[in-house]
Amino acid sequence: MRMCQSAEYALRAVVWLAAHPDTTLSTPEIAKRTQVPPGYMSKVLQVLAHAGLVESNPGRAGGFRLTQGPEEVSVLDIVNAVDTLKRIRRCPLGLKSHRHELCPLHRRLDQVAAIVERAYAETTIAMIASETSPLRALAETT
């Protein structure tokens, strides 16, 4: 199961903002550091602002910052702000005999989606930002 590109970009932006909590960062700076095209990043940040996850400060020294602490924001919050995680609630084929329950295939696929949804909900941005690893999130190591 792969998330959409906008959700990936939104997660990159939020993780980068979480790593710089005392700084307001511009769209071009966030785009450069997360390797996202600036125009695309601008749209993603607008969506995150509309969802209340980031705030925009206009002006020469303006930019974006998180509205909450990274320990309060889950991966699911970010994914749902950009593109809601898809669950299977009824037969995708529209079969009348499957009207009240899912077939084994679609039931299993929905169970997997539920596991992913739960993992996203349980993973905070703080967990990602503070994870110990020889690699830093979104940064080249030398």
Alpha carbon distance 21, 129 (integer Å): 11
**Model confidence at 137: pLDDT above 80:** no
pLDDT number for residue 141: 45
pLDDT number for residue 118: 96
pLDDT band at 126 (very low <50, low <70, confident <90, very high): very high
Fold of 5-130: Arc Repressor Mutant, subunit A (1.10.10)
pLDDT number for residue 136: 63
- Cβ–Cβ under 8 Å, residues 20 and 139: no
What is the arithmetic mean of pLDDT over 12-25? 92
In Å, what is the CA distance from 15 to each residue of 59, 60, 99?
A: 23, 24, 41
Q: How many helices (H) and strands (E) does the chain have?
A: 6, 2
The pTM of this model reads 0.85
Alpha carbon distance 43, 64 (integer Å): 13
pLDDT number for residue 99: 75
